[in-house]
């Protein structure tokens, strides 16, 4: 009996090590992949950079910015060719495709792909002797796909909001007011500007479901989570909203197909991949999703957690139980738990603004910047700053606005006070807008910090104080790919009720780096109220 148990203890991890799970990410500038074994160890990573490795498509940063400065597209065949190239690289690296039990992936959110009539038949019978790029030359009715950087659909946004009963009503239905980059508004625009091509379209995919379709050899459903970035999905019923469909384009429900849970197994990988790469016939394709939902999975966010990414721009993800849509920010269906939601907030003025103040007030050194934070008190003696070097997304305001403790506008602050005013101001703004979408402190609340500035302990201390929660760091450069590999693994067992967190419980734990100062709630509860009032004033002025 004992020997049998020991044998089992040895065999289970060995069998897990023999299985592989692939996570792809079709992002703006590159296509990436992570191969992970069943013990959650990353065994291989690879990528294809669009600009450098596919120069024939002449993209910059993976996109074409059109003459109007607002329209931004990417060639769909570039994404297809990138997959050909990536699979070749994996073959050359000796990846044993027959060990892959499941694959999943993510795509930049909001971008859309238009399949030409007859493409579904083509996808079903791909000849394994040719590459995908040759086989799918004629399969797209629109060759340049609108992507998330496009901001040319303002009129369509206004029309949709009018049809839905106003911006807040639209946010209540779809999780967001109308945004130019959201897919429904892009479809409405394309229907007008490329009417002929639109007529020839038999199916519209998101970048994520387009990529899944390639692996599946047939049209893949749009998943609930990425589908929430379209201004078309009712995030509560998890079905297309009739009002939004009708306001966008005729017969749109048929063109989109029915949406599915993000944890769905869509089917086995197509015979093309079995014959061409040596995938096993039993390898499953798990629904692909958006890159932000996939990152939430990669960071293993849990109920009560907030993820703060401090990169070029600052991004916040929240795990939300009950959606409370607001005029700013987005609510998406949660990609790993069918009953939950996630919120997403983007702030443009992040690290670049911190760098500017570092250069002006701390002699250009992060050490000097940190010293200023150490040497100034929580609450900054009442001084508050708003630093919107460029037009902010949340809230839509611009300029630098400084206030003393009596709410008087001032033109400057001393260098040390300015450093704290910037960092406190940024984090108060993050918390204020997170609260409007449902952030609240519950027992066990954690803030998970990633991105370049998360290496700065003093910045994280301010984050911890303002959010009144412990801050952990998590070192992930590839969270969307890793999240996709985790989701592939979870997809195989999700139907039998196993939770996502159970599947990834043995992944490396985040590290605790800061806990809130005992005086923090007293200081910031008051200050946040002042900050909200002053933000109103700034918004009116800018």
Give the footprint of ligand ADP on this chain (CB under 6 A): 311-312, 351, 354-355, 366, 451-453, 455-456, 459
Shortest-Cβ-distance residue relative to ligand XUL: 109
Give the alpha-carbon dihedral of 414, 418, 424, 426, to 10 degrees: 160
Contact 416, 370 (CB under 8 A): no
Pick the closer one to ligand XUL by CB: 111 or 379. Answer: 111
**Number of neighbours of residue 63 by Cβ within 10 angstroms:** 24
Residue 403 as a binder of ligand XUL (CB under 6 A): the answer is no
Pick the closer one to ligand ADP by CB: 451 or 483. Answer: 451
Distances (CA, A) of 322 to 127, 425, 440: 47, 27, 12
Which pair of structure tokens corresponds to residue 169? Answer: 């009503």
- x-or-dash pattern for ligand XUL, window 41-80, by CB under 6 A? ----------------------------------------
The 10 Å CB-count burial string (b at 16+, else e) for 516-528 is: bbeebeebbeebb
Residue 109 as a binder of ligand XUL (CB under 6 A): the answer is yes
User: Which residues have a Cβ under 8 Å from the Cβ of 519 and sit 6 or more positions away?
Assistant: 378
User: Which positions from 112 through 171 interact with ligand XUL, judged by CB under 6 A?
Assistant: 148
Selection from ligand XUL, ligand ADP, none that 311 binds (CB < 5 to 8 A by kind) is ligand ADP
Pick the closer one to ligand XUL by CB: 28 or 376. Answer: 28
**Interatomic CA distance for residues 53 and 31, integer angstroms:** 11
Find residue 331's DSSP bridge partners: 343
CB of 307 to ligand ADP, least distance (A): 13
Shortest-Cβ-distance residue relative to ligand ADP: 452
Binding ligand XUL by CB under 6 A: which of 32, 81, 99, 110? 110
CB of 480 to ligand XUL, least distance (A): 8
Selection from ligand XUL, ligand ADP, none that 456 binds (CB < 5 to 8 A by kind) is ligand ADP
**Interatomic CA distance for residues 36 and 20, integer angstroms:** 6
Pick the closer one to ligand XUL by CB: 161 or 315. Answer: 315
Sign of the alpha-carbon torsion through 490, 494, 496, 497: positive
- Classify 238 as helix, strand or coil: coil
CB of 292 to ligand XUL, least distance (A): 5
Contact 347, 192 (CB under 8 A): no
CB of 305 to ligand ADP, least distance (A): 19
Start-end of H helices in 405-519:
415-436, 457-467, 479-494, 500-503
- x-or-dash pattern for ligand XUL, window 177-196, by CB under 6 A? ----x---------------
Q: Which span (248-256, 268-276, 284-292, 516-524) binds ligand XUL, by CB under 6 A?
A: 284-292
Pick the closer one to ligand XUL by CB: 225 or 454. Answer: 225
Can you say how many angstroms the Cα of residue 487 is from the centroid of all Cα atoms in its chain? 15
Which pair of structure tokens corresponds to residue 42? Answer: 């990353």
Distances (CA, A) of 292 to 84, 111, 219: 25, 13, 22
CB of 251 to ligand ADP, least distance (A): 40
**Interatomic CA distance for residues 501 and 508, integer angstroms:** 13
Selection from ligand XUL, ligand ADP, none that 109 binds (CB < 5 to 8 A by kind) is ligand XUL
Write out the residues near ligand XUL by the rule CB under 6 A: 27-28, 108-110, 148, 181, 229, 290-292, 344
């Amino acid at each position: 009996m004992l020997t049998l148990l020991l044998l089992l203890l040895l065999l289970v991890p060995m069998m897990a090590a023999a299985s592989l799970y692939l996570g792809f990410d079709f992002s703006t500038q590159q296509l990436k992949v992570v191969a992970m074994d069943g013990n959650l160890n990353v065994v291989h990573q690879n990528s294809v950079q669009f600009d450098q490795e596919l120069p024939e498509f002449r993209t910059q940063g993976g996109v074409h910015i059109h003459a109007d400065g607002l329209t931004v597209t990417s060639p769909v065949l570039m994404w297809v060719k990138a997959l050909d190239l990536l699979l070749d690289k994996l073959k050359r690296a000796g990846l044993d495709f027959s060990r892959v039990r499941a694959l999943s992936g993510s795509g930049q959110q909001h971008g859309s792909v238009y399949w030409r009539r007859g493409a579904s038949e083509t996808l079903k019978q791909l000849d394994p002797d040719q590459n995908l790029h040759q086989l799918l030359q004629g399969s797209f009715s629109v060759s340049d796909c609108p992507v998330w950087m496009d901001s040319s659909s303002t009129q369509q946004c206004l029309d949709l909001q009018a049809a839905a009963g106003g911006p807040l009503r639209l946010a209540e239905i779809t999780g967001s007011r109308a945004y130019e980059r959201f897919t429904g508004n892009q479809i409405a625009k394309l229907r007008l500007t490329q009417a002929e091509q639109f007529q020839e379209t038999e199916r519209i995919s998101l970048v994520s479901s387009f990529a899944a379709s390639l692996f599946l050899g047939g049209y893949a459903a749009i998943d609930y989570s990425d589908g929430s970035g379209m201004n078309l999905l009712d995030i509560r019923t998890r079905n297309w909203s009739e009002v939004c469909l009708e306001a966008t384009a005729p017969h749109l429900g048929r063109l989109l197909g029915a949406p599915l849970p993000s944890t769905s197994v869509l089917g086995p990988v197509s015979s093309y991949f079995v014959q061409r790469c040596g995938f096993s016939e039993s390898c499953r394709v798990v629904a692909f999703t958006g890159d932000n939902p996939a990152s939430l999975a990669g960071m293993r966010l849990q109920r009560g957690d907030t993820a703060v990414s401090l990169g070029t721009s600052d991004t916040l993800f929240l795990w939300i139980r009950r959606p409370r849509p607001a005029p700013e920010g987005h609510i998406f269906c949660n990609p790993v738990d069918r009953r939950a939601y996630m919120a997403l907030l983007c702030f443009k003025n992040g690290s670049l603004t911190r760098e500017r103040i570092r250069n002006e007030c701390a002699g250009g050194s992060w050490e000097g910047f940190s010293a200023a934070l150490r040497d100034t008190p929580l609450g900054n003696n009442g001084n508050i700053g708003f630093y919107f070097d460029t037009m902010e997304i949340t809230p839509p305001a611009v300029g630098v606005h400084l206030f003393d403790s009596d709410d008087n506008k001032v033109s400057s602050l001393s260098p040390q006070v300015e450093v704290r005013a910037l960092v406190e101001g940024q984090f108060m703004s993050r918390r204020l807008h997170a609260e409007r979408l449902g952030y609240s402190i519950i027992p066990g609340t954690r803030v998970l910090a990633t991105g370049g500035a998360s290496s700065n302990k003093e910045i994280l201390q301010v984050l911890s104080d303002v959010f009144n929660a412990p801050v952990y760091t998590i070192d992930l450069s590839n969270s969307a790919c890793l999240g996709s590999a985790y989701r592939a693994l979870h997809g195989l067992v999700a139907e039998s009720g196993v939770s996502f967190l159970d599947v990834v419980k043995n992944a490396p734990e985040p590290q605790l780096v800061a806990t809130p100062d005992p005086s923090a709630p007293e200081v910031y509860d008051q200050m946040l109220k002042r900050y909200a009032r002053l933000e109103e004033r700034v918004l009116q002025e800018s």
